[in-house]
Amino acid sequence: MSTIYLIRHCETTGQSPEAPLTPRGEEQAQRLYTQLFELPITHLISSPYRRALDSIQPLATALKLPVAQEDDLKERRLSAVPLDDWQDHLRRTFIDPDYTCPGGESSRIATKRITRVVEKAL
C-alpha cells in the first residue's frame, strides 16, 4: 500500500507563480524537511510554482531526490478578471463545486485535475 502526503506550500509573498517564500515560509520549509525526512519517501511531485518548489526543496536536497513538476498541480484559477468581492466568490466555490467565475475553474474541475495526478502517482 502506498502513502501519499499532500502538502500545501509554505507562507509566500504573493499569489504570482514566481512569488518566493517569506522568511517565515523558509523556516516552515526547513521544519517540513525535519518532520518528513525519516519517512520512506521515494518520489516528490510539485506544482511548478516557485512557492511549491521552494517549500519542498530542502527535503528533496536531503533525500537526494528530484522533484517532478506537474502542471496539473497548479492552483485553481478563481477568475480571469479581478473581483472586488473575490472572497464571496471563493466561498461560493466551496458550497457549490460547479460554480465558476468568468474565465475561472470550478472546484469540481480542479479536484478532477489533481486527482488524476494522484492516481498517476499511485
Q: How many helices (H) and strands (E) does the chain have?
A: 4, 2
Using one digit for the tens of pLDDT, what is the confidence trace for 50-105? 999 999 999 999 999 999 999 999 989 999 998 999 999 999 999 999 999 999 99
The total domain count for the chain is 2
Q: How far apart are CA 95 and CA 77, in angstroms?
A: 17
Q: How far apart are CA 28 and CA 21, in angstroms?
A: 9
Question: Which residues are 67's β-sheet partners?
Answer: 44
Q: Which domain holds residue 33?
A: 1-74
pLDDT at 23: 98
Q: Which of 74, 96, 113 is the last residue of a domain?
A: 74
Q: Are residues 30 and 47 in the same domain?
A: yes
Other CB atoms within 10 Å distance of the CB of residue 59:
22
User: What's the chain's average pLDDT?
Assistant: 94
